[in-house]
Structure 1
Amino acid sequence: MIRSMNTSTKAFPILLRLSFLFTISIISEAIDTITTTQFITDNQTIVSSDGSFEMGFFSPGNSKNRYLGIWYNKIATQTAVWVANREIPITNRSGILKITNPGILVLLNETGNIIWSSNTSRTVQNPIAQLLESGNLLVKDANDDNPDNFLWQSFDYPCDTLLPGMKLGKNLVTGRDWYLSSWKSNNDPGRGVFTYWLDLRGYPQFWGSNGSVEWYRSGPWNGLRFSGNPSLKKNSIYKFNFVFNKQEVYYSYELLNSSIVSRFSINENGFVQRWTWVDGKGWVLYLSGPTDTCDTYALCGKYGSCNVGNSPVCGCLDKFVPSRPKEWAMGVSTNGCIRRTPLDCEKGDGFLKYSGIKLPDTQYSWFNESMTLKECQTACSHNCTCMAYTTLNISGEGSGCLLWFGDLIDIKEYTENGQDIYIRMASSESEGLAISNGGSKEKKGETIGISLAISMVTLSLIFGLLFYVWRKKQQQQQQQQLKREGRTRDIFKHGYNNESQTKDLELPLLDLATIMNATNDFSESNKLGAGGFGTVYKGMLEGQEIAVKRLSRNSKQGVDEFKNEVICIAKLQHRNLVKLLGCCIQGEEKMLIYEYMPNKSLDSFIFDPTRSTILDWPKRFHIINGIARGLLYLHQDSRLRIIHRDLKASNVLLDIDMNPKISDFGMARSFRGEETEANTSRVVGTYGYMSPEYAIDGHLSVKSDVFNFGVLVLEIVSGKRNRGFFHLGHNLNLLGHVKIKTGNAILISTLN
């Protein structure tokens, strides 16, 4: 960022400033360079050698304030493309720009105070400032003709405009960000609330943000264009490029004809736009984004698909249904959709192909540039947290692999230049199907030349089976009823039935009628919360407050997870583990009964601006210490060594005295004896908390929980979420941010 000086300095007192008139020459004619013996006053400018750009002082719109800026020189309407002192205007015409011997540009006001300056990490003996034909203001050594050997350039500090040759992205070596920020208004070039920046959380994509709120996104680069910009294609005005290597990640463009004047900018309302100058017409809008309502980020929620041609615009992807049907009926779709048939990774899932869409948010994605699509599918299918995959680069024959972890968000349907994505589905939903445009079956050419013999055999088999199916119909209905009645015995395959559960698990098995009575028939007024597993209700059982975790039929926690949670914590006894009081398994119902935690979950405190004030540092330390004690018990002191695998703020509950209790053992893994680690093909948990060796290679150990604990501690201390952490200075998550700060602190300590 351009360094603005808002404090006074005595480096240039008034008398010294007046002495410039006698020792330094004022520029009196149009040139493109100033030296240490020259300076620019308010009524003077410099012009690039080809006359395309001019630099000097100007007043935007109806403002009377003066700013140092660069604008187009050959068009009728003055259009500024860069402003130096955008945050600190000069209130009169007393401004002076000069270059000092070290090679630093300084902007002085009438009192001789520096209100803006450039910066440099090195010095030269004969520095000059030159306005290039590209509109770039360069500070360099006058004796050095190498254009890349400069001390400072304005192109490294974009304002609201991206000119040809500028970069929009990030330098991975220096950490410099190139991003656009809007003006406050036509009369004020100060930094507005809107920015357009490159996100490196996952595979790169650009975001349009309103303050800290992410408003719309470009989608990932696919080799031809950004997935969310289908209109970005070859044209007669400019060519564009996206560079992604170990040193830099950026977007840039070049004009195809030097006589064309075209710019890319962000306006005061946050829209990014491509403008082209046409004589007699002025600035003509060529492209603009966002283009319509469906470009609004996450408008249709997870697994929702947006189509401006529909009414309402939001719908669910095929094989998905609204997560909250009543809200969808009222036109509220932000909570998105869920799979019609729940996944069952251990038994095997498949993938459905959806075509013609904007690829989902890539914040929580992984990519490999060399893998084939088949290898990509294999990698995704072997990781239960991988929800979708696609080809990374669609130019040519296609190459590379892009994987998504977690729910898919911000999907839009396109009539042209959309992409294919393969989404994880239950095997019963994914066999032999290919879906396009978020709902309709992909049209396939009619099969020609089917063998007559095969047709006859097929028909014979069908008729032969009809009678058999008819005879079995009544038997199947009876068997279904028996299965429902015997669900308890089916779930606990190791003998934990009604007769032995008290002896083996020391855990009461409650009937449905008792639970319904305790929760007032699962009344809405008793509802404590909901998640992917189902709903939690408050109840009263024999004078004791309880929390009932009622798993939905579409729950992410299936039968195995339910059974695992019961077995894992039935006999665990520790003050920092939530106590399981009983369970209910009847018909299609699966419920767990816990002790009631009046302060609910930890995340409801630390991430809430108001409630977080309750947690002073002693309370936060007390919570961290309690979680650590509970984790130590699971790892070392319990009868079975247990790895939780999903330790996060929402899975830590707080009792009346704010004591933390670890909960939700559906994903837990138990070990016997001295076992401390294992490898698994089923990676489960929450992306953003999982350790790298577990998320990528499936290597599971007690260290996996320790990594989760470390992330949780950072969140408790900072009050910020690791997933979704935002900082204008970089695009890292909370872990990356802390790593930078820690590294800088260590470096400073070492230097001192």
Structure 2
Amino acid sequence: MDIFAFVLLSSNLLLFSFVSSDTVDIITQSQPLSDSKGTTLASKDGGFVLGFFSPGNPNNRYLGIWYNNIPIRTVVWVANRRNPINGSSGVLVVNNNGKLVLLNQNSTVAWSANSTKEARNPMVQLLDSGNLVLREENEENSENYLWQSFDYPSDTWLPGMKVGWDLRTGLERRLTAWKSPDDPSPGELSWGIELHDYPEIVMKKGYDEFFRTGPWNGRIFSGVPELRATPVYNFSFVSNKDEVYFMFHMINTSLISRAVMNQTQYERYLWVNGKWKQYLYLPKDNCDNYNLCGAYGNCIIGESPVCQCVQGFKPKSPDTWNPDEWSKGCIRSTQLSCQDKDKIGFDKLFGYKLPDTTHSWVNLSMNLEECRVKCMNNCTCMAYSNTDIRDGGSGCAMWFGDLIDIRQIALTGQDANSLGQDLYIRMPASEKVKDKQKMKVILVVVVAIAVVLGVLSIPYCICVRTNLRDQTRAKVLGWSMRFNIICGIARGLLYLHEDSRLRIVHRDLKASNVLLDSKMNPKISDFGMARIFGGDQTEGNTNRVVGTYGYMAPEYAIDGLFSVKSDVFSFGVLLLEILSGKKNRGFFHPSNGLNLVGHESL
């Protein structure tokens, strides 16, 4: 069952409250919070509590916020991350200047809330959202805070919390991992928005980029289609002159969800049936490693090698194209001529994670054609795209310099239609001519698919399977005719594997995908699962095995390895079916129970 459907069914699950008798609802100048007295501050609904705790060494005490209605203590915010208090001497007070201060046993400051305004009648409250706020007691605007913990995240992202920037004050809200499960001091990994013209979320390891989501396109971050609205929560992204931030909200407020930046990755959890259920983590695979394939390198999970060059480019080190050389990236097969604009065009790529936006430029009021013209007239502009894919697309984003950290995103079905984004890469005219040739191949594929779906009416309308199953038609298929059909299929495969400019592996050769005309001449059809091999590539692998069982080569069905040999295996099964008139998976020998292939191999 889908986790979101499951948690929606479980939304009436009772939650238990653990508010102690020493819990207060506000902190004032006359009512501090003392560790030695064991007092805590709870939110009005009892969902969160502020108090002192020790994650590891019992002598190291921290002031933090955790879920109050969950039996597993799950800390979401820590005040004195860098400066633990020795023993239970900690006291949280509002001092005479209206500042929120954490004092240790010597009455020295272990931590303070850096509010810039002094309060006349200050009070501290823990909101139902888990946000600790300092405000004026009589303030009519309930959201006019002098200070709030949501502006200073630890490792946890809660609903309603902004991750991003307040451009008016220069404040950055960024998640930072704990150093270890026993040490809440800031670790190496952090998660936040990089302030480029085209903002995106970046995970950093120290000062180095570790993982990048790609920019927001109105529906998703282009490199993380999983990070989008669900039946449980939705997202909002704001980018204007005052703020740039990303936020999520719970649709079903009876459910509990949080995101965490831990020591190795970003994770999202739901509280389900008495435990935290992880349902998203990033980075998710090798291709998520920042700039793995270098400039103009396209990372494709399931391909061999995983790093391929974008169409129109070739490896910078073709003789040593291996994991040690991938970061050197790719160079153009044909160099650009900036002066002669008639020899320049743009290739459209679909379903890619957009390149690193460090060197980008954005204009939200331009349309795609205006964007193309502006990019064309600037020799340093290497690519352009819409900034927003909703309602047919709007806005203009342009990239300058080499394009890095590109990967192919697997979008299928409705996702491909609603979430996919076009990227237009600057190319010389010679490459555009090659593209037109490739488009002819694609056109042949489209026509073949259309034939199988019955969209077009052409002479090739009867498949081999129909002739074999229909007893009347099967009688017409004499040995000579069957031999000619077999030879015709073999010639077609030879063309796809050897004679075509691009080596094509069909991956789904079977009786129903071979069409016969009125003279019983065969044509291979339905190239919807085909793979095109470039250069000297002879084999590939995939985590998603597609095709028809019974015709699949064992190494493909078991390990996802495919090559021209896979088609030859399928051809062998098809040959047996044509000769015997039997279907492989529908035939079982009465004495040994083997199917057609197994019986013939005896």
Q: Same fold (TM over 0.5)?
A: yes
CA distances 1:588-632 after superposition (whole Å, capped 9, x unpaired): xxxxxxxxxxxxxxxxxxxxxxxxxxxxxxxxxxxxxxxxxxxxx
The residue matched to 1:380 in structure 2 has which SS? helix
SS in 2 for 1:374: helix
**1:323-367 Cα shifts (integer Å, max 9, x gaps):** 111220576211011111111121221111111110010100111
1:197 is aligned to 2:192: yes
The question of whether the paired residues in 1 share the 8 Å contact of 2:101 and 2:112 is answered with yes
Give the unaligned 5+ runs of structure 2. 1-19, 412-418, 458-602
SS at match of 2:371: helix
The residue aligned with 2:272 is 278
Provide Cα deviations, 1:169-227, integer angstroms capped at 9, x if missing partner: 11111111111111000000001111112111331011111111111111011010111
Deviations 1:205-251 (A, max 9, x none): 11111111111111011010111111123312111110011110000
- What is the correspondence of 1:233-632 to structure 2 with a 5 Å cutoff? 233-269=228-264, 271-280=265-274, 282-329=275-322, 332-348=325-341, 349-416=344-411, 417-431=419-433, 433=435, 445-446=446-447
Once the two structures are superposed, residues 420-467 of structure 1 have per-residue CA deviations (whole angstroms, 9 ceiling, x without a partner) of: 21111111112484899xxx96888549999xxxxxxxxxxxxxxxxx
- Helix, strand or coil at the partner of 1:33: coil
Alignment of 1:52 onto 2:47: yes
The alignment partner of 2:321 has SS state of helix
Q: Which amino acid aligns with 1:277?
A: W
Structure 1: which amino acid aligns with 2:267?
Q
Corresponding residue pairs, total:
419
Deviation at 1:276, TM superposition (A): 0.8
Q: Which of the residues 30, 35, 56 maps onto 1:37?
A: 30
Code of the aligned partner of 2:174:
Y
Distance 1:449-1:66 versus aligned 2 partners, 3 A rule = closer
Letter in 2 for 1:59: S
Alignment-derived partner of residue 677 in structure 1: none
Identity %: 48
Whole-Å Cα distance in 2 between the matches of residues 103 and 79 of structure 1? Answer: 30
1:145 offset after TM fit, Å?
3.2
Q: Using a 3 Å threshold, how does the CA distance of structure 1 residues 244 and 176 change in structure 2: closer, same or farther?
A: same
Q: Deviations along 1:692-723, whole A, 9 cap, x unmatched?
A: xxxxxxxxxxxxxxxxxxxxxxxxxxxxxxxx
2:141 to 146, 158, 168: 146
CA distance in 1, matches of 2:122, 2:104: 22
> Match for 1:274: what amino acid?
R
Q: Which residue does the alignment assign to 2:225?
A: 230
Paired with 1:194 and 1:31, the residues of 2 have a C-alpha distance of: 35
Q: Is the 8 A contact 2:298 2:310 kept in 1?
A: yes
Do the aligned partners of residues 262 and 365 (structure 1) sit closer, same or farther apart at CA in structure 2, a change above 3 Å counting? same
Secondary structure of 1:155's partner? helix
Q: Which residue of 2 aligns with 1:722?
A: none
Residues 87 and 330 of structure 1: CA distance in aligned 2, closer, same or farther (over 3 Å) = closer
Task: Tell me: CA distance 1:327–1:88, structure 2 relative to 1, closer, same or farther (3 Å).
Answer: same
CA contact (8 A) 1:239 1:256 kept: yes
CA 1:319–1:31 in 2, change beyond 3 Å: closer, same or farther?
same
Q: Say which of 65, 72, 80 aligns to 2:67.
A: 72
Secondary structure of the 1:198 match is strand
- TM value normalised by structure 2: 0.67
Residue 38 and residue 185 in structure 1: after superposition, are their counterparts in 2 closer, same or farther (change >3 A)? same
In structure 2, the partner of 1:689 is none
SS of alignment partner, residue 351 of structure 2: strand
Poorly superposed stretches of 4+, deviation over 6 Å: 447-450
How far residue 374 of structure 1 moved from its aligned partner, in angstroms, is: 0.8
Label 1:442 to 1:125 Cα distance change in 2 as closer, same or farther (>3 A): farther
Helix, strand or coil at the partner of 1:85: coil
Residues 469-522 of structure 1: per-residue CA shift (max 9 Å, x gap): xxxxxxxxxxxxxxxxxxxxxxxxxxxxxxxxxxxxxxxxxxxxxxxxxxxxxx
Letter in 2 for 1:308: I
Could you tell me which of 161, 174, 177 is aligned with 2:172? 177
Q: How far apart, CA to CA, are the structure 2 residues paired with 1:434 and 1:306?
A: 24
Q: Which amino acid aligns with 2:272?
A: V
Matched residues in 1 for 2:117 and 2:336: separation?
59
- From 117, 121, 124, the equivalent of 1:126 is 121
1:105 aligns to 2:100 (yes or no): yes
**Does structure 1 retain, via aligned residues, the 8 Å contact 2:366–2:394?**
yes
Q: Provide TM-score, normalisation by structure 1.
A: 0.54
Secondary structure of the corresponding residue to residue 374 of structure 2: helix
**Root mean square deviation of aligned Cα:** 2.2
The 3 A distance-change label for structure 1 pair 141 and 251 is: same
Q: 1:273-327, CA deviations, whole angstroms, 9 ceiling, x for partnerless residues?
A: 11111123x1111211111000011100000000111122101111211011122
**Contact 1:197 1:207 survives alignment (8 Å):** yes
Q: Which runs of 5 or more residues in structure 1 are unaligned?
A: 1-26, 451-752
Distance 1:115 1:140 in 2: 21
Say whether the 8 Å CA contact 1:31–1:47 is kept in structure 2. Answer: yes
CA pair 322-266 structure 1, distance change in 2 beyond 3 A: same
Distance 1:382 1:183 in 2: 48
